[in-house]
Amino acid sequence: LNLILFEAAELAADGLLRLVDARAAHIVKVLRVVEGDTVRIGLIDGPRGVATVRRASSSGPKSEFDVELDCVLEPMTPAPPRVDLLLAVPRPKVLRRLWAQFAALGVSRVILTNAERVERPYFDTHFLDERVYRPLLIEGLQQAKDTRVPRVSIHRRFKPLIEDELAGSSDAATRIVADPAGTRSVGTVVRERAACAANDRVLVAIGPEGGWNEFELDLLEAHGFQKAGMGVRTLRTDTACVAILALIHDALRSGD
């Protein structure tokens, strides 16, 4: 953990944060703090900060950890990442692996959708249950030292999502769809747009393992999604997601 995250309700009025769970174990066993040491902390969806260890102990036969931290938060909350993701629901195993990586790479919104080539049982997985994916998102944030939890929505119907609901879900001015037939690279498309609009945000659509069908691709294009390619190699959904998010963030940074 590069940043210890906590919920607002965990913080006492005097800035004291008491931890007795896996975070306390990490602070004692991995960071090996002593009284007076400092650790980096963050309020979920709020500012980062620094905490001074008031007390850290492990005791009992089951090694129970107990840590008290005096927290000082920065005045500003980090800005949300400038990328939103529209993703056809992948296989549960792949989805499981992706949650922490989305949060680590930086995604403001994860908009999960049905598509022709999404298999129906994919919607039944518990990895679409917030109680399951939220801890995975927070794990990714703690890795990347961010506090902003991606907002997630799940849509079982593609057409109404694209035609009616998408504008309410993402305010990104640049929309791109990853497509093997896209002759222009992801970076080129994003840099062109970012050059004319500082603080532009990007919404990227990534299809199912077999790709979007023709109807879906046409509908996306009709709603402003520009095709962008990533070379001739066909990538698995999880590899493609990480690759494309890295390319977009890199292009947004270089456009600033």
Binding site for a copy of itself (CB under 8 A): 2, 97, 100-101, 104-106, 143-146, 185-188, 230-236, 239, 242-247, 249-250, 253-254
For residue 121, give the DSSP letter.
G
Copy the structure tokens of residue 149: 């939890």
Closest distance between a copy of itself and the C-beta of residue 140, in Å? 8
* 193 burial via Cβ count (<10 Å: 0-12, 13-18, 19+): buried
Measured from the CB atom, is 50 or 154 closer to a copy of itself? 50
Measured from the CB atom, is 46 or 106 closer to a copy of itself? 106
Closest distance between a copy of itself and the C-beta of residue 233, in Å? 4
Closest distance between a copy of itself and the C-beta of residue 63, in Å? 21
Measured from the CB atom, is 138 or 186 closer to a copy of itself? 186
Measured from the CB atom, is 166 or 244 closer to a copy of itself? 244
Cα 110 to Cα 136: distance, rounded to the nearest angstrom: 14
Measured from the CB atom, is 70 or 139 closer to a copy of itself? 139
Measured from the CB atom, is 111 or 252 closer to a copy of itself? 252
Q: 95-124 burial, b for 16+ CB within 10 Å, e for fewer?
A: bbbbbbbbbbbbbbbbbbbbbeebeeebee
* 86: nearest Cα among 246, 241, 190, 205: 205
Closest distance between a copy of itself and the C-beta of residue 241, in Å? 9
Closest distance between a copy of itself and the C-beta of residue 145, in Å? 6
- C-alpha angle 238/187/138, rounded to 5°? 40
Q: To which residue do tokens 């070379």 refer?
A: 231
What's the start-to-end Cα distance of the chain, in Å?
A: 29
> β-strands 202-206, 83-88: how paired?
parallel
Closest distance between a copy of itself and the C-beta of residue 174, in Å? 17
Q: Strands across the sheet with 64-73, in order?
A: 4-6, 38-43, 48-59, 64-73, 16-19
- C-alpha angle 149/168/148, rounded to 5°? 10
Measured from the CB atom, is 197 or 246 closer to a copy of itself? 246
Closest distance between a copy of itself and the C-beta of residue 211, in Å? 11
